[in-house]
Amino acid sequence: MSIPCRVADYDDVISTFSVEGRETLTPDFVDYVKTTAGVTPEEYPIVLEVIGDGLSEKEKEVIERIVEDDFAYELGMVEKEERRHTQVFVFMLAILLLVGGFLMLVDGLSEIPRELVFIVLWFAGDTLCDYVLLTGRDLRQERRLAGRLASIKVMFSESYEDGGYTQGDVERLYSQIEKDVRETVRKK
C-alpha cells in the first residue's frame, strides 16, 4: 500500500533542529505517516512514496535512513512498554492471588485491617482489569502499527503516479520486506 507524501524540500521531512548525523523526522511528517498507515489494510506492506523534485541524492539517502531508524526505534519503545505492561500484569495477578488467599484464610481479623486488605485487593483487581480490558488492547494496536512502520520502504518520485508499479516491483518489494524480517528475527 503506497502512502503518497508530497514534499517541497528536505525540511518537510527532516526537522530543522536536527544536526547532521543526528537527524530526526518532523512531528507533522510522523503524524501524517502514522495516521495514514493506521487506516491501511494490515495485509499490505507499507511503502512511503516521497514525491518531490527538490531533493538531492544525499538528502534522499538521509530521509530513507532516518525514516527506517526512527520507526524502528519507536517499535523498540513500544515493545519495551509492552514488557513493562506484562510485568505489571503478572505482579498485580500475584498480589490479587496472595491477598485473596490471605483474606480467605484469615477470618478472625478485626474490621480495620480487614478493610485495608479489601482496599489492596480492590486496587490490584482494578489495575488488572484496566490492563486486560483497556490498556492491553491499545498496546497491541500500537505494537502492530509500530511493527508495520518499522518495515516501511521509502521510494522517491518526481510526481505522483497512481498504480505505476509492475508485478515485478511488487514482488521485489515483498521479498525485500521478508528478507528484512528474517534478519530482524535472527538479531533477536
Question: Where in the sequence is the domain holding 171, given as residue range(s)?
Answer: 2-187
Residues whose CB falls within 8 Å of the CB of residue 15, separated by 6 or more in sequence, listed in order: 23, 24, 25, 26, 27
Cell of 140: 497491541
Residues whose CB falls within 8 Å of the CB of residue 64, separated by 6 or more in sequence, listed in order: 154
Look-up of cell digits 488492547: 137
pLDDT of residue 109: 59
pLDDT of residue 160: 66
> Which run of H or of E encompasses 88?
helix 57-105
Give the start-end residues of each E strand in 15-150: 47-51
pLDDT in tens, the chain (188 residues): 688 888 888 888 998 898 888 889 999 999 999 999 988 888 778 889 898 888 889 999 999 999 999 999 999 999 999 899 888 888 888 888 887 787 777 766 566 577 777 788 888 888 888 887 888 788 888 888 998 899 888 988 877 665 556 667 767 777 777 777 777 667 65
Is residue 160 a contact partner of residue 6, using CB atoms and an 8 Å limit? yes
Global pTM?
A: 0.71
Closest CA to 86 of 38, 110, 94: 94
Is residue 26 a contact partner of residue 14, using CB atoms and an 8 Å limit? yes
Domain count, the chain: 1
